[in-house]
Each structure stands twice: as C-alpha cells, then as structure tokens.
Amino acid sequence: MGLLEGKVAIVSGAARGQGRAHALRLAREGADIIAIDICADIDTVDYPLATPEDLDDTVAQVELLGRRVAASETDVRDATAVAAAIDTGVAKLGRLDIVVANAGIAMYDAADTMSAQSWRDMIDTNLTGVWIVCRGAMPHIEDGRGGAMVLISSVAAHVGMLHLSHYSAAKAGVVGLMRALAVELAPHAIRVNTIHPTSVTQR
Ligand SMILES: NC(=O)c1ccc[n+]([C@@H]2O[C@H](COP(=O)([O-])OP(=O)(O)OC[C@H]3O[C@@H](n4cnc5c(N)ncnc54)[C@H](O)[C@@H]3O)[C@@H](O)[C@H]2O)c1
C-alpha cells in the first residue's frame, strides 16, 4: 500500500519538469491524478512551454504506474477553465484530496525596462494562477475529509535575485497566500504549505 492509496491529487504544470515529477511521485504512492498544463506558449516568455505531447507522456507514465488520470490543456490564468477542469476530473476520479500548484514561468527581465505585459503575465501565472487552482479545488476538499495544498514558491521569495523582480514578487506573494489559506482552511483540516526550490534542471 502506498501512502496515498485511494486519494486524488491535482497537479498544475504537469506536462513536464517538476510538475511531471510530482505527478509521478504521487501516483507511485497510489494517488490518481488530475493533470493540467497550458501546453502552449506565452508571448512574453522567452522559451517554449510544454506541448500536448509532453502532457500525453505524463499521462502515459502515470497510467504505467497503474493509476488513473484526468488530463486537460488548461491555462491556470483562466479561472473558469480551471474550475471546469477540476470539476471534470473529480467527476471522473471521484474525489479530491491534494493540490500541487506548480505551474510557473521564469524569465529574466530588468526592472527598469520590463514591459507591463511581462510583469502581468508573471503575476497572473505564478501568483494569481496558484490562487485560481486552490480556489477551484476548495469546494471539493472542504467536505470534512481534509487534505493538503502544496504551493510551489522559490528561493527567490526569500533572497533578492538579479532581474527577477516580477518572479520574486510573485513567489513571495505565494508565501502570503499560503499563510492566509492555512488559517482559512484549517477548520476544514486542509494543510497549506509552500516549497522553495533552488535551481532545478531536467534530466
Ligand atoms: N527550475 C527551477 O530552477 C525552479 C526553481 C525554483 C522554483 N521553480 C518553480 O517550480 C515550478 C516548476 O518549474 P519547472 O522547473 O518544472 O519548469 P518547467 O518550465 O519545466 O515546467 C513548468 C510547467 O508549467 C506549465 N505552465 C506554465 N504556465 C502555465 C499556465 N499559465 N497554465 C498552465 N500551465 C502552465 C508549463 O507548460 C510547464 O509544463 C514553477 O512554479 C517554477 O517557478 C523552479
């Protein structure tokens, strides 16, 4: 028996990287997975985001572990689409216990020349998108069983890093969000924590 047998987790940004690793680790412990990812590029992000094929690979790897998946190409900036993806996933998999709000972007941009669109895309994805995923999950976890929310922040929430003002602001915002949600959701037995990775590269 895995630690999470019979549980269901949503992972945002699940198509590749740390999101895929989180999905596979949760699945190895017995959880079924609601996997969402934008699977498209964002104009202000200067590197390609995941593809539909990446998300398909995550689905195949979770299924190889014997777990079920509800996957969708969903942008965490779109509250209506995220709520619908979570509702559809819960309808398929039966419940929701765990949130890993992992989807994120990271581009270097000097504060004095950064475009307002670049700032907005960062905050919308890395901060508002985290709230949107938590918000979409809340009605499904607040049913008395309890659960856990893990919000992926960064070491950049704690230390100043060159040309990452928008990223640092978003990731520090995630810490404030975590603290507020932890208080608000404690009566529902839902734990809320942040994780602060340093540099992580894909193998
Ligand atoms: N890689 C690092 O060194 C590092 C360090 C600290 C924190 N982090 C954080 O860890 C998380 C995962 O990063 P990673 O290293 O795996 O990066 P990654 O680029 O490999 O993965 C991020 C995933 O999020 C998806 N995504 C981006 N914007 C989205 C949106 N609007 N809606 C839905 N999905 C979206 C991408 O398509 C991609 O699949 C991010 O929140 C990132 O900020 C990464």
For 152-190, how does the pLDDT look when each residue is reduced to its tens digit (9 = 90+)?
Answer: 999 999 999 999 999 999 999 999 999 999 999 999 999
pLDDT in tens, 61-102: 999 999 999 999 999 999 999 999 999 999 999 999 999 999
Provide the 8-state DSSP code for 62.
Answer: H
pLDDT at 202: 76
What is the full DSSP assignment across 99-157?
EEE---------TTT--HHHHHHHHIIIIIHHHHHHHHHHHHHTTTT-EEEEEE--GGG
pLDDT at 143: 77
**Pairwise pLDDT comparison (153 vs 143), residue with the higher score:** 153
Distance (Å) from CA 103 to ligand 1 centroid: 5
Q: What is the mean pLDDT of residues 102-111?
A: 97
The answer to whether the pTM exceeds 0.75 is yes
Q: Cβ < 6 Å from ligand 1: which residues?
A: 12-13, 15-19, 37-38, 49-50, 75-77, 102-106, 125, 129, 152, 154, 197, 199-200
Q: What is the mean pLDDT of the chain?
A: 97
Is pLDDT of 142 > 90?
no
Query: For residue 23, which of 53, 52, 63 has the smallest C-alpha distance?
Result: 63
pLDDT at 53: 98
Is pLDDT of 203 > 70?
no
pLDDT at 144: 80
Give the position, in ligand 1's atom list, of the atom nearest the Cα of 49: 37
